[in-house]
Structure 1
Amino acid sequence: MKLLVNPSPEKWQKSLARPVQKTKEINKIIKPIFEKVGRSGDKALKKFALEYDHVNLESLVVTEEEIKASKNQISKELRDAIKVAKSNIESFHAPQATPELVQEVMPGVVCRRKSVPIQKVGLYIPGGTAPLFSTVLMLGVPANLAGCKEIVLCSPPNREGKIHPAILYTAELVGITKIIKAGGAQAVAAMTYGTESVPKVDKIFGPGNQYVTAAKQLATKYGVAIDMPAGPSEVLVYADETAIPSFVASDLLSQAEHGTDSQVVLVTTTERFAKKVLKEINEQLEGLPRKDIAFKALQNSTTVVMENPETALELINDYAPEHLIIAVSNEEEILEKIYNAGSVFIGNFTPESAGDYASGTNHTLPTYGYAKNYSGVSLDSFVKKMTYQKITPEGLLSLGPVVEIMAANEKLDAHKNAVTVRLNYLKEKKK
């Protein structure tokens, strides 16, 4: 990790730049994949499975027998842990539902607003070096709570043509029955267009590598919504001398092991503390199975010593991290001044991995600085808000002239006339 001491604001953007995404080169690969899936459907998906996943699939759809068998292919210990996480996620997400709003804005004019489930949603679950069954919970639980009519899950198969049993077990636990053996950009394309086996969806959720991310953004050009633009995973830890160096190091490494393009940042108050953390990182790194991945990620990462707390907060808000850990003595005071972060973890005993798995908050969060203008996934992500209005004759007699004046001044006479004919009808009826 690079070490910077009190860098000036002019240097922040360059010093904390995320790994560059080669968008043009990636899109050159993604667009032909979309075209082939759009043209050939299942046939293209099977061809891509052979090319990228090195497996010859007879069927893309996971069978009921495969789903049922998954329960005995993972330990009871893991099954129990998944159930606890599911319960916590449900407990946090269920109260996010909002009641219907009904408001009489003036006599005889009633406006309403309510949440309506997005009918068809697609969940992308990575299954490569780290099969993210936890993401099945993070997306499947709120999708079910929201009442989505159809929930499709896509995940890449292994060389035996199987999806990781923990993904299948978790999918069944949260009520997902349509599971497709497809990964990468081709899975996103399938959910965008629809194929013989894969339903076309209205919105696509889920993390993935840079190809999946680019594919999701391309899907928006075909009328499909996505959860958010996102890039590689990241964490920023803000710590002072009251923090525990080994804890801070473990949090930084927990994100670094996600992928070589992940980024971790430490912002701290003294150079002495920074060096303690860097020493811990080197020691803990040696014992990690994904040591090589984490090591490469650390090359993209930075430690910043910022002695002035106000300047440190400016830097944090400017960076807008996906995950923000606050490990300082005056945590509540600091929290009030944080306004750009995907999810915040408070205190020495709140590791970021708790939120990744089981605390109850959602781990599908905006990265790459998008925390400045996007929220993480929640129950709201799976619903849309519809508004309604009903006007009585008495209400139109009061409101109608207002609409007539405004429409006339915008020179939209047909708009005005839609009110005028009704008002004339009511006046005639009164005679």
Structure 2
Amino acid sequence: MKIILHPERSAWADLTIRTSLDTYEDLERAVKPILRAVKRSGDAALRRYIYKYDKVRVKDFMVGAEEFEEAQSYVSEDLKKAIQQAKYNIAQFHMNQRVSNKKIETVEGVRCWQRSVGIRRVGLYVPSRHAPLFSTILMLGIPANIAGCGETILCSTPDREGRLHPIILYTAKLLNISKVFKVGGVQAIAAMAYGTESIPKVNKIFGPSNQYVTVAKQLVSKQDVAVDLPAGPSELLVLADESANPAFVAADLIANAEHFNNSQPMLLSSSEELVKKVLAEIKRQLPGSSRPESAAKDLEQAHAIVFQSNVEAIEFINMYAPETLSLAIQNAEAVSERIYNAGAIYIGHYTPESISYAAGPNNTLPTNGYAKAYSGLSLDSFVRKINCYDVTAQGLKNIGKHVEEIASAEDLMARKNAVSIRLTNSD
């Protein structure tokens, strides 16, 4: 990590810029031909791109019953118990987000309420090229089930034998997701956005991935399908002070860098001495990572910034708007109340980001500064809210005059008349 000492405020904006493998224009040029081809040629284009990028020929995209059954035996009992516990916690948290459709009488005779209706068909994208991120299925599939979504389909990248990892199939079956397809990358987004002979078109696409998939989601959302949020390369910003354990902080930064796809770890502190201790710990712990070379590459590009005080660091955090923020400081909970731009906050020395696997809240979060405007996924992400009105004749008399005045002021006389004609003809 590159240590930056006491940067001037004029340099802060540059420090918030995320590293990227390509410019947005380059990404669009790579993504658009794939989207067009799948939209035009359907399954034939999918097979072509799967072979090009995944080096495998897939005949049947949909996972069959035998593959689901076979997968069950490959998952250890300990892992099954861990997944069951995570499922329970995540379900509990998201069930608590349900709201009652209470009917409100705003004026006598004017009743209003809001219905939450599950999206009819949702598509889940589960990254698996480098690792089977089955936790994503829990984070997406559980709220989809609780929301009452009509149908859930899942797409993930096949291996060189044209199969999906057993843990992905086990987790999908656990959540009663039976329509699982062997296709990943941009082509999977295109298939769910447009529909093909094998894969149905969905109403909304969910799931994080690399920058190419993120751009594909942004492009198809312009006119073809809704998407969840901009969730690209993983980000972790750690604010640590003298009370932090350097080994803990280093472990969290390595854990973030262990992701593929240009992860964005960052360390902030008011103590240069602590920063040096953390960097020494990173060097010591890094060989134990599953992907030390990839993690080392992302850490080499990362910044360790020493500010004059935590007050400055907090200002920078709100400017940066990290996907995930770890507060390894004294009075962490109090400081968390001063953070208004972050996808999720991990408070205190014993709260690693990894806890999000099973604690309960959704860990699909906005990246690249979008936490300034987007929330992480929740139950609301999987429903539509339908407003309902029920007005009696007396209710219309009670409110109609005000509606007529507003319609007249906007010079929408037909709208005024829709009220006036009822008032004139009411008993």
| Smaller-chain TM-score bracket | over 0.9
Give 1:293's aligned residue: 294
Q: Does the 8 Å contact 1:396/1:423 carry over to 2?
A: yes
Give 1:222's aligned residue: 223
Amino acid paired to 2:413? D
1 CA distance for matches of 2:336 and 2:176? 37
1 CA distance for matches of 2:28 and 2:145? 33
1:409 lines up with 2:409 in the alignment: yes
1:39 lines up with 2:40 in the alignment: yes
2 CA distance for matches of 1:212 and 1:131? 16
Give 1:24's aligned residue: 25
2 CA distance for matches of 1:365 and 1:243? 25
Give 1:99's aligned residue: 100
Partner secondary structure for residue 157 of structure 1: coil
Q: Does the 8 Å contact 2:16/2:319 carry over to 1?
A: no
2 CA distance for matches of 1:164 and 1:135? 14
1:269 deviation in Å? 2.0
2 CA distance for matches of 1:398 and 1:223? 42
Q: Does the 8 Å contact 1:123/1:153 carry over to 2?
A: yes
Give 2:276's aligned residue: 275
1:265 lines up with 2:266 in the alignment: yes
Partner secondary structure for residue 4 of structure 2: strand
Amino acid paired to 1:6? H
Amino acid paired to 1:421? I
Greater shift, 388-397 or 409-418, is seen at 409-418
Q: Does the 8 Å contact 2:322/2:369 carry over to 1?
A: yes
Give 1:205's aligned residue: 206
Q: Does the 8 Å contact 1:4/1:305 carry over to 2?
A: yes
Give 1:143's aligned residue: 144
1:222 deviation in Å? 2.5
Amino acid paired to 2:361? T
Partner secondary structure for residue 222 of structure 1: coil
2 CA distance for matches of 1:9 and 1:232? 26
1:421 deviation in Å? 1.2
Amino acid paired to 2:111? V
Partner secondary structure for residue 158 of structure 1: coil
Q: Structure 1 stretches of 5 or more lacking a match?
A: none
Q: Does the 8 Å contact 1:121/1:202 carry over to 2?
A: yes
2 CA distance for matches of 1:308 and 1:162? 52
TM-score, structure 1 normalization: 0.97
Give 1:364's aligned residue: 364
Give 2:328's aligned residue: 327
Partner secondary structure for residue 268 of structure 2: strand
Name the count of aligned residue pairs.
426
Partner secondary structure for residue 3 of structure 2: strand
Listed one character per residue, the Cα deviations across residues 287-327 of structure 1 (whole Å, up to 9, x for unaligned) are: 32301111110122111112322111101111111111111
Q: Does the 8 Å contact 1:262/1:300 carry over to 2?
A: no
Greater shift, 255-264 or 162-171, is seen at 255-264
1:259 deviation in Å? 2.1
Partner secondary structure for residue 208 of structure 1: coil
Q: Does the 8 Å contact 2:333/2:348 carry over to 1?
A: no
Amino acid paired to 1:365? L
2 CA distance for matches of 1:51 and 1:271? 48
1:38 deviation in Å? 1.0
Partner secondary structure for residue 266 of structure 1: strand
1:245 deviation in Å? 0.4
Amino acid paired to 1:240? D
1:91 deviation in Å? 1.4
Q: Does the 8 Å contact 1:239/1:328 carry over to 2?
A: yes
Give 1:162's aligned residue: 163
1:2 lines up with 2:20 in the alignment: no
1 CA distance for matches of 2:147 and 2:414? 39
RMSD between aligned alpha carbons? 1.2
Greater shift, 185-194 or 45-54, is seen at 45-54
1:131 deviation in Å? 1.3
1 CA distance for matches of 2:148 and 2:43? 28
Greater shift, 47-56 or 154-163, is seen at 47-56
Aligned-residue identity in percent: 50
1:260 deviation in Å? 5.0
Give 2:128's aligned residue: 127
Give 2:354's aligned residue: 353
Give 1:380's aligned residue: 380
Q: Does the 8 Å contact 1:62/1:181 carry over to 2?
A: yes
Greater shift, 390-399 or 256-265, is seen at 256-265
Q: Does the 8 Å contact 1:261/1:300 carry over to 2?
A: no
Give 1:343's aligned residue: 344
2 CA distance for matches of 1:260 and 1:395? 58
Partner secondary structure for residue 96 of structure 1: coil
Give 1:236's aligned residue: 237
Partner secondary structure for residue 374 of structure 1: coil
Greater shift, 395-404 or 276-285, is seen at 395-404
1 CA distance for matches of 2:15 and 2:401? 59
Partner secondary structure for residue 213 of structure 1: helix
1:409 deviation in Å? 2.1
Q: Does the 8 Å contact 1:120/1:149 carry over to 2?
A: yes
Pairing of 1:191-202 with structure 2 (within 5 A): 191-202=192-203
1:93 deviation in Å? 1.0
Listed one character per residue, the Cα deviations across residues 202-233 of structure 1 (whole Å, up to 9, x for unaligned) are: 11000111111111001112331111013211
TM-score, structure 2 normalization: 0.97
Greater shift, 284-293 or 158-167, is seen at 284-293
